[in-house]
Structure 1
Amino acid sequence: MELVTEDDIRAAATRLRGEIVRTPLTAGPAQGPPFLLKPESLQPTGAFKLRGATNAIALLDPARRASGVITHSSGNHGQALAHAAARFGVPCTVVVPEGAPKVKVDRMRARGARVIMVPPDRRVEVAEETSRAERLALIPPFDDPTVIAGQGTVGLEILEQSPEVATIVVPVGGGGLASGVATAALTVQPHRVRVIGVEPELAADAAESLERGRRVAWDPERTHRTMADGVRVCLSDLTFEHLRHRLDGIVTVTEDEIARAIAHLALGARVVAEPAGALAAAAILAGRVPTVPGRPEATVAVVSGGNIDPALFTRILAEHG
């Protein structure tokens, strides 16, 4: 299986110039170990997914682009594809699992996407069926080299912004972000920068897969127990191979640790993070990933998204603020 390369990521970075925000590195919460944040929540769609979606659409030939694009997503990738499609003047359809956060679904529709709601275990099947029936270009959330290359620009930016970085911590759901960032770290700074993935304990299929040495899928009934809706999906064969060869390690966090991280980021770093977006910070704050005393620039936590349901955000701040 052919993996994404440094050249793929650098080409994506050139392609994305002017289309996405080059997010800054900002200080982590004052309370706790020293580390920096890469707030992808500052993207126009509130999450890193805009990078991969834009790169994928940009690489479609004009004829395929004109027919329209489709994806399956619980929220952030759907929003990103809708945004990118609108920029290119392309019709967009998103197959959404029932129970997806209303705030994310509403934003997909606001960006012009047609939304098809289905049971969680049928999201991929319906997207593929609709793609064939309507001749739409299918752009998966993570199981695609062009998407992974776009997500890898997050890692490329971190390496350029903080030459002293030694550890990058990233959330893991489908594995596209972790695959791209790990590729950037391994090829741009080989053997100097380690990349650590983070999953919720209640959706830890990647941790189990890497431990067993083969891809293990968890049923939606298991992964939907976590509040981190953005990482309820499992690895694909493509992302598993990237992580198996390039990720330096993976840890898990509890639901309480995720909630506490959301509160710490909001109150201590002025960064709004959704549950999936808070995973990396949660692992650091919980002591799962050691940092270097006095050197915040040595550890960077990627805040992958900030599209949190307002009611959930209010409740977490009330309980943990």
Structure 2
Amino acid sequence: MTENLVDLPAIEAAARLIEGDVVRTPTVPSTGLSELLGVPVTAKLELLQRTGSFKVRGAAAKLRLLDDAERVAGVVAVSGGNHGIAVAAMADSLGVKATIVMPRSAPRRAVELAERHGATVQLTTDVTEAFALGGRLRAEGLTLIHPFDDPDVVAGQGTVGRELAQDAGALTDVLVSIGGGGLISGIAAAIRALRPGVRIWGVETAGSDAMARALAAGGPIPIVPTSIVTTLSPPAVAPLTYAHVRALVDDVLVVTDAEAVRGTLEIAEAAKVWTEPAAGCLLPAARRVVEQAGGDCRLGLVLCGGNATVADVLAWASRFGVDVS
């Protein structure tokens, strides 16, 4: 670690630890996205990861490090969707009892998948109450598997960046979605070590822009998330992830929910992969990067997850007046 930041040796250790638990997802040039954006685009298809998102990497890294007493006590995770699915699946494979706390706004599919893996799911009125309940359950003896405020989790997510750096061709810019900031923190640590000249851009949706607000305020501040993108909607980022973004990320771009939904549909049509809006938000942000960086840029997009139903996306498209014809 340097200044409490996760470093490449920690990410390499996490990669060895979770090698048997995760998929080395494809890193592929996308002809369709390249034509759409007018510059070469490489996509890291983390939506093809086990459980449908990158989250299983951090969950596996943390659960693999639990001692016997912690495993016996069981674990609790607070999630807007994907982290809960990942913790439930990994805990199930290790024989650890899991309780997943989600706000009622979480996708129904996420609740169903967590329960399918044997987890107990508790629903709360909103994400702030979910984190409060998670804290109470931790105080009662469960081990908290935090979605982002944990260096072991960040190191696990950093294996995405390690693979991208190793597998991609030439890149000038990498775009990563931000919820609590665990994914971009780990990816940025890996990319800065392995490809130091590459620019790193974070992307949030308006109403869940906790990192952008933290950067403007000089530190993490509480917010009330209002975005439909629940998987990017913590009540605040952590000092840990804020420090990584402040030190390692070039800028954080904020797009609207409508743009994120439209991006999901455009990626489906152009790249032939089904993302969720947490990844769809990268497309409008990528257009801004191309405008700022110019036509010589070569983009890497981390398509972080695909756990949205067709019905959900079409309902959002109707709500925001996004043309699906």
What is the TM-score of this pair, normalised by structure 2?
0.91
Note if contact 2:148-2:154 (Cα within 8 Å) is conserved in structure 1.
Answer: yes
Match of 2:118 in 1: 112
SS at match of 1:305: coil
SS in 2 for 1:53: helix
CA distance in 1, matches of 2:44, 2:291: 16
Deviation, 1:87, is 1.4
Matched ranges for 1:1-321 at <5 A = 2-26=4-28, 27=30, 28-29=32-33, 30-34=35-39, 35-120=41-126, 121-133=128-140, 135-190=141-196, 192-219=197-224, 223-224=225-226, 226-233=227-234, 234-285=236-287, 290=292, 293=295, 298-315=298-315, 316=317, 319-321=323-325
SS of aligned partner of 1:202: coil
Aligned letter for 1:91?
K
Secondary structure at the counterpart of residue 6 of structure 2: coil
Structure 2 unmatched runs, 5+: none
* 8 A contact 2:155–2:186 mirrored in 1: yes
- Answer whether contact 1:284 1:291 (CA < 8 A) is retained: no
TM-fit CA distance, 1:9: 0.4
- C-alpha displacement of 1:256: 2.4
Deviation string for 1:152-208 (max 9, x for gaps)?
Answer: 011000000015222110001100001101111122233x12211001122222112
Report the Cα distance in structure 1 between the residues aligned to 2:279 and 2:71, rounded to whole angstroms: 30
- The answer (yes or no) to whether the contact 1:284–1:290 under 8 Å persists in 2 is no
Deviations 1:202-223 (A, max 9, x none): 222211211332222212xxx2
Kept in 2, the 8 Å contact 1:228–1:275? The answer is yes
Q: Secondary structure in 2 aligned to 1:116?
A: strand
Q: Secondary structure at the match of 2:52?
A: coil
Could you report, residue by residue, the CA deviation over 1:17-48 in whole angstroms, capped at 9, with x for unpaired residues?
12111111231524233312112110121111
1:289 & 1:105 partners in 2: Cα distance?
39
CA contact (8 A) 2:261 2:281 kept: no
* Larger deviation, residues 25-34 vs 110-119: 25-34
**How much identity, in percent, do the aligned residues show?**
34
The Cα offsets for residues 207-264 of structure 1, whole Å up to 9 and x where unpaired, read as: 1211332222212xxx22x221111113111111111111111111122221221111
CA apart distance, 1:127: 0.9
Q: Which structure 1 segments of 5+ residues have no match? A: none
Look up the SS of the partner of 1:60 in the other structure: coil
The two structures, once aligned, show a CA RMSD in angstroms of 1.9
Tell me the distance in 1 between the aligned counterparts of 2:220 and 2:77: 22
Question: 1:126: how far off?
Answer: 0.8
Cα displacement (A) at 1:292? 6.3
1:285–1:301 Cα change, 3 Å: same
Contact 1:253/1:279, CA 8 A, preserved across alignment: yes
Q: Judge conservation of contact 1:281–1:303 (CA < 8 Å) in 2.
A: no
In structure 2, C-alpha distance between the alignment counterparts of 1:289 and 1:128, rounded to whole Å? 43
Secondary structure of 1:320's aligned partner: coil
Give the Cα–Cα distance (whole angstroms) in 2 for the partners of residues 166 and 98 of structure 1.
40
